[in-house]
Amino acid sequence: MRFGRMRGENDNLDVGAEGAFLPSTVSVLLPAAVILGGYGLTYAWLALAGRGDGALARLCLIVLSLGGPFLIAHAVLRRFTARVDVMSHAVFVHTGFPRSEPYEIPYALIRRLTSSRGPVGRLTGSGMLVFELSTRQTICVADIARPSQAISVIGRRIEEVAERRLDTEIPVKTTLSAAIIAS
């Protein structure tokens, strides 16, 4: 398995459903929105109750002012860096921020491809693609929109590659196998 940039005769993505599978924007931003909304509502409740100067209110303000920008930046970076590119010869898997280099996975190495959905995935229709390779390595890409469609497209490509490999393999007849057949 090679790691690095795309290298091939034709690295252009296919047009239509078999091109790139991207993360769901809602599923990437929803956890940050829930966390920031929870701390914001807690601070608002404390301020309305007259306890806006207490330790818990200060904690809420610290999380909102320091943690909020980092949560939003992380979500935006994940949204724009994670993707699954389905090519004719391999799948390019970009697991997203903080990893910058993609995995190039030839179809022959994919042993099993599954989808996993958590509570956010059930709400937004997204999921995590789990690639189990014949090298005993597991590669996961989270928050992919339409994971079942990605599995069907990649599954078709795996079958096409397997059929092409079987069509090109010609059994070599040796004199021993010819002698066994003749007798």
Residue 171, pLDDT score: 55
38: its two tokens: 């929870």
The per-residue pLDDT for range 121-172, each reduced to its tens digit, is 888 889 999 999 999 999 999 999 999 999 999 999 989 888 887 766 655 4
Cβ partners under 8 Å of residue 5, min gap 6: 102
Residue 97, pLDDT score: 87
Q: Using 50, 70 and 90 to split pLDDT, how confident is the model at 10? A: low
- Amino acid type, 109: L
3-state secondary structure at position 35:
helix
DSSP code string of 80-134 = HHEEEEE-SSEEEEEE-TT--SPEEEEGGGEEEEEEE--HHHHHHTEEEEEEEET
Residue 100, pLDDT score: 80
**Cβ–Cβ < 8 Å for 142, 80:** no
Residue 169, pLDDT score: 61
Please report which residue ranges of the chain form alpha helices under DSSP H: 25-48, 55-62, 68-81, 119-124, 147-168, 175-182
Residue 153, pLDDT score: 92
